[in-house]
Amino acid sequence: MGYRLFLQLFIKNMKNTIKKIAVLTSGGDAPGMNAAIRSVVRTCAFHNIECVGVYRGYQGMIEGDFEPMNARSVRNIVSRGGTMLKSARADEFKTKEGRKKAHEQLKKEGVDAFVVVGGDGSFTGALLFNNEFGFPVMGIPGTIDNDIYGTNYTLGYDTALNTAVDVIDKIRDTASSHHRLFFVEVMGRDVGHIALNVGIGGGAEEILIPEENVGLDRLLDSLRESKKAGKTSSIVVVAEGDKIGKTVFELAEYVEENFPFYEVRVSVLGHMQRGGAPSCFDRVLASRMGVKAVESLMEGKSNLMVGIKDDKIELTELELAIKGKSKINAELLRVSDIMAI
């Protein structure tokens, strides 16, 4: 260990009153969650802080489903998708009674603070918990949707983009071999970040996202235009939360009826986008976020989310992370239009 690191460590430990940290993953799983768990556990080990893993998110916290973790407990997980701690959407934690039970379990276990890896629902739970019990909490954004304010990237987003674009490339082979129009639905309940990026990366003709309702007429016009321009196959990427008012299957049917030039097919990518080995980007991001989360708790901070902005790890108030809206990049919309000419 270098002298500078040693000195920093010494100063931090002098001020630190946090002796035991719990880590949990909550909400939908995302690639990179394991790397974040590993980072929290190893940062604790580095600073001589005890660490416990909480299984099944807040539900496991309520039930006291804890396991002590050390640096070796997280060996060989940096490359694995999913979450070794499992995840859950715990309705009981939404109640005051449920959170009281969880607090009792944490007290019994001697835990002083927790780090939760999840999305805005998980952060809302953490904030309520802190307000009620004054318990230090720290959030790490883990969701493939990239829909959290206060960070340019959430864990799992980069991996999901690469997974989806890889599949779209394969679909393109069939689309072009058969003179077909494919509607490819990607995840994104409320936001179109995945759709917009994989649409550009996968060479889509049109990209339908919840933030922008293009309407059925414009979609048909665009397909007619592309036919005129000599295209013989096309891919339309649709975010699952698209607001055009039809499911992707109804949309496909409508287009087939009103524009019989193509044979139309639908492909819903679904949960395959959430699985698989995290990209290098997500592994590095998770490692950086875990270090920051633990060290911020050691500095007496709480109610914050660790994010990344312009390649700098930064903290955002949990309240802002929950309430703020992650905006779609308008430049990307323009780029996608130009690319589809």
Q: Which residues contact 161 (CB under 8 A, 6 or more apart)?
A: 194, 197, 198, 201
Q: What are the structure tokens assigned to 135, written together?
A: 């318990």
- Least distance from C-beta 269 to ligand F6P, angstroms? 10
- Report the Cα 145 to chain-centroid distance in Å: 5
Binding to ligand F6P in span 234-253, by CB under 6 A = 240
Can residue 88 be called a binding residue for ligand F6P (CB under 6 A)? no
Torsion angle of C-alpha atoms 24, 26, 32, 34, degrees rounded to 10: 40
- Residues 57, 62, 64, 69: is their CA dihedral positive or negative? positive
DSSP 63-93: HT-EEEE-GGGGTT-TT--S-TT-----SGG
Give 30 or 340: the residue with its C-beta nearer to ligand F6P.
Answer: 30
Catalytic residues: 145
Between the CA of residue 233 and those of 141, 165, 226, 238, 253, what are the distances in Å? 38, 17, 9, 16, 17
Can residue 39 be called a binding residue for ligand F6P (CB under 6 A)? no
Among residues 136, 188, 210, 290, which is the contact residue for ligand F6P, using CB under 6 A?
Answer: 188
Of the candidate spans 77-85, 137-145, 196-204, 278-286, the one that interacts with ligand F6P by CB under 6 A turns out to be: 137-145
- Least distance from C-beta 275 to ligand F6P, angstroms? 11
Give 28 or 136: the residue with its C-beta nearer to ligand F6P.
Answer: 28
Of the candidate spans 50-58, 140-148, 162-170, 253-261, the one that interacts with ligand F6P by CB under 6 A turns out to be: 140-148
Of the candidate spans 170-178, 184-192, 313-321, 323-331, the one that interacts with ligand F6P by CB under 6 A turns out to be: 184-192
Binding to ligand F6P in span 151-180, by CB under 6 A = none
Can residue 187 be called a binding residue for ligand F6P (CB under 6 A)? yes
Among residues 22, 25, 28, 150, which is the contact residue for ligand F6P, using CB under 6 A?
Answer: 28
> What separation, in Å, do the N-terminal and C-terminal C-alpha atoms of the chain show?
56
CA-closest candidate to residue 194, choices 183, 171, 210:
210
Can residue 189 be called a binding residue for ligand F6P (CB under 6 A)? yes
Do 321 and 307 form a contact (C-beta atoms < 8 A)?
A: yes
Q: Point out which residues bind ligand F6P (CB under 6 A).
A: 28, 143-145, 187-189, 240, 274
